[in-house]
Amino acid sequence: MLHIVVCVKQVPDSREIRIDPKTNTLIRQGVPAIANFYDMHGLEEALRIKDEKGAVITVVCMGPPPAEKSLKECISLGADRAVLVTDRGFAGADTLATSYVLGLTIQKVAAEFGPVDIVFCGKQTLDGDTGQVGPGIACRLDLEQLTYVQKVEKIDQEARRITVHRHLEDGVEVVETAMPVLITALKEMNKVRRAPLPGMIRAAKFKPVIWTTQDFPGLERAKIGLKGSPTIVSKTWVPEQRHVDTEMIAADTPQATAGLLVDKLWQTELPQRFGWANGSEV
Residue 147 binds what, of ligand AMP, another protein, none (CB under 5 to 8 Å, by partner type)? another protein
Instruction: Kindly determine how many residues on this chain lie close enough to bind ligand AMP according to the rule CB under 6 A.
Output: 23
User: What radius of gyration do the chain's Cα atoms show?
Assistant: 25
**CA angle (244, 247, 248) in 5-degree steps:** 130
- Positions in 43-72 near ligand AMP (CB under 6 A): 61-63
Q: Can residue 9 be called a binding residue for ligand AMP (CB under 6 A)?
A: yes
Would you say 18 and 69 are in contact if contact means Cβ atoms under 8 Å apart? no
Distances, alpha carbon 198 to alpha carbons 180, 202, 204, in Å: 31, 6, 10
Question: Which helix (H) or strand (E) is 260 found in, with range?
Answer: helix 254-266
Rounded least distance, CB 53 to another protein, Å: 21
Question: Which helix (H) or strand (E) is 133 found in, with range?
Answer: helix 133-141
Q: Can residue 86 be called a binding residue for ligand AMP (CB under 6 A)?
A: no
Rounded least distance, CB 87 to another protein, Å: 15
Residue 113 or 161: the one with the smaller Cβ distance to another protein is: 161
Q: Can residue 29 be called a binding residue for another protein (CB under 8 A)?
A: no
Q: Can residue 214 be called a binding residue for another protein (CB under 8 A)?
A: no
Residue 69 or 264: the one with the smaller Cβ distance to ligand AMP is: 69
Q: Can residue 222 be called a binding residue for another protein (CB under 8 A)?
A: no
Residue 237 binds what, of another protein, ligand AMP, none (CB under 5 to 8 Å, by partner type)? another protein
Q: Look at residue 161 and give its three-state secondary structure.
A: strand
Would you say 162 and 43 are in contact if contact means Cβ atoms under 8 Å apart? no
Q: Can residue 91 be called a binding residue for another protein (CB under 8 A)?
A: yes
Please identify, among the stretches 1-9, 35-43, 212-220, 235-243, the one whose residues bind another protein according to the rule CB under 8 A.
Answer: 235-243
- DSSP class of 64: -
Would you say 77 and 193 are in contact if contact means Cβ atoms under 8 Å apart? yes
Sign of CA dihedral 103, 104, 105, 107: positive
Rounded least distance, CB 186 to ligand AMP, Å: 11
- Positions in 61-80 near another protein (CB under 8 A): none
